[in-house]
Structure 1
Amino acid sequence: MSDLIERGASAPLPVSADWSELRDWAALLKPRVMTLVVFTGAVGMLVAPGPIHPVLAAVAILCIALGAGAAGAINMWYDRDIDAVMRRTARRPIPAGRIAPEAALGFGIVLAVFSVLLMGLATNWHAAGWLAGSILFYVLVYTMWLKRRTPQNIVIGGAAGAFPPVIGWAAVTGGVDVLPLILFAIVFVWTPPHFWALSLWAHGDYQRAGVPMLPVVAGARETRRQILLYTLLLAPLGLLPSLLGLAGWIYGATAVVLGAGFLFHAHRVLREAQDERGVSLVGDLAARHAFRFSLLHLAGLFAALAVDHWVLG
């Protein structure tokens, strides 16, 4: 017994956690994407009429985050072959060999089921149904059906990222109204110019992977034109909550400024120095700036809606 005690005393203490492995599991959840998803869902909950207990609100936001993360993990499992040949994604945990594909799939499925059940039990099954629909749409419609088949993948598939404000609203009210549907439409129309700006300077990755993003199939010039067209549609759509009396002047003024800013960047993308095929001669600087501004645009709109609701009621 004394020998055992001595050996136990001299043995190194076990490491409580391998932080690099934990980071890999967290990376499966696509935390950068999740941040914006959670924010838009939280704003949808905040502007919804009626009370919700703060604890239940926190649980609902957690469910939205877990549902988005689950969809991201299953997406990474399914796309592991194309992720491996794209520079932008080759270091993700599955193609890099740090997490087994089957483990990632199981992780995603468990999180998806848990998030939907918890949402239903904590708030209502209407919100849980919207959450389940968003996960299934992202996995089945976008990832497995559209992404590798059509350049309209991000146009139709963008609906997956537009669900959170509807889910947040439904978590409070148990239903859906005009404002969350407008917020859905804003995110839906915002998604193509946002991702096409990214795909302009990452088109080589998509080409190597055989993903028919618009610049690969239709060319850079047509992609630039489509970015501007969608942004022209997005600008007035962003004003709709104020025009319909569903938001006040704080939101309306912000929507004018951000819409004009996005249009400015979209026009710069169209007019950037380029060759006869529309390929940038200056490293797609305008597209990079447009991509970054698009994130500010969407976050700013939703933040303004929250402030407007808080200040003006």
Structure 2
Amino acid sequence: MRRISIDPLIVLILSAVLLAIVFPVRGQAAEWFRYATDIAIAALFFLYGARLSTREALEGLKHWRLHLTILAFTFVLFPLIGIALQPLGSWFGAGIAMGLMYLTLVPSTVQSSVAFTSIAKGNVAGAIVSASLSNMLGVFLTPILVMALMTHDGSVHVDTSVFIKIATQLLLPFVLGQLLRPIVGAVAATKGTKVVDRGSITMVVYSAFSQGMVAGIWASIGAMQILALIVLSAVIVALMLWLSKLVAQKLHFGRGDRIAIQFCGSKKSLASGLPMAAVIFGGAQLSLLILPLMIFHQVQLIMCSWYAQHLHSQKL
């Protein structure tokens, strides 16, 4: 539980933010660092593909009602919440308002969703397949949702060329990972590859926050806005945990499936969301745009770790 609630990734991200504040990368060095970040993101999605067992995923797809329910929470209900939150943009500012919208469009987590489902004695196999499917479909669905919901007022410009970037930088490495899984699968599953996982995300954060520091956009962010984002994240997580439980009960899912729906349907992936944001958006505004997702990630881990332990202690 300590490893989940005190996430090493958050430590790295906070370190990257502090480093960007004190020593932001700029000029030609920033260009080279962005190229290195692109390579790291491609390596990350290559590992995602190499780790996913195609046979187990196809076998798990038979439980289609469970997966459709989780996908509906991730890519339908969450975006509706994002739309409902847009009036808050007048207080938060345009950059954070875009970040709140983007937060609701990214896939579900994989590692923590499965871990919490396991702790709570839920359907672990179903959680693995649903969370993995969410991330695979998110490579396409997240950019589509961004174009549909974030470009209508002209504050965000995303054209169809983003799909070429997604295909070459995210999808192609993922497919190569799947094809080479018989050769590299065992290596990809080792703990040592966490260096690539956490390193690529840390690089995205450092690059984005450096751009924000160089552009001087952080003067517009106050402590009350950060506190408000923390409280808002807690409210969203609590709402989604309650609503996913209610819907799962109404659809007559068993206890194990209800738990998988709650933990897969209530969370958003920092590991997938940040690299995709770097590919889709870029620019100085990226540092503001990813801030809500970074805060939401830690809040969901803290709340879900407590809730998973609570479910674990209940009598079956």
TM-score norm. by structure 2 comes to: 0.31
Per chain length, whose mean CA-contact separation is higher, i.e. which structure has more relative contact order (CA < 8 Å, sep 6+)? 2
Larger radius of gyration: 1
The TM-score, its normalising length taken from structure 1, stands at 0.31
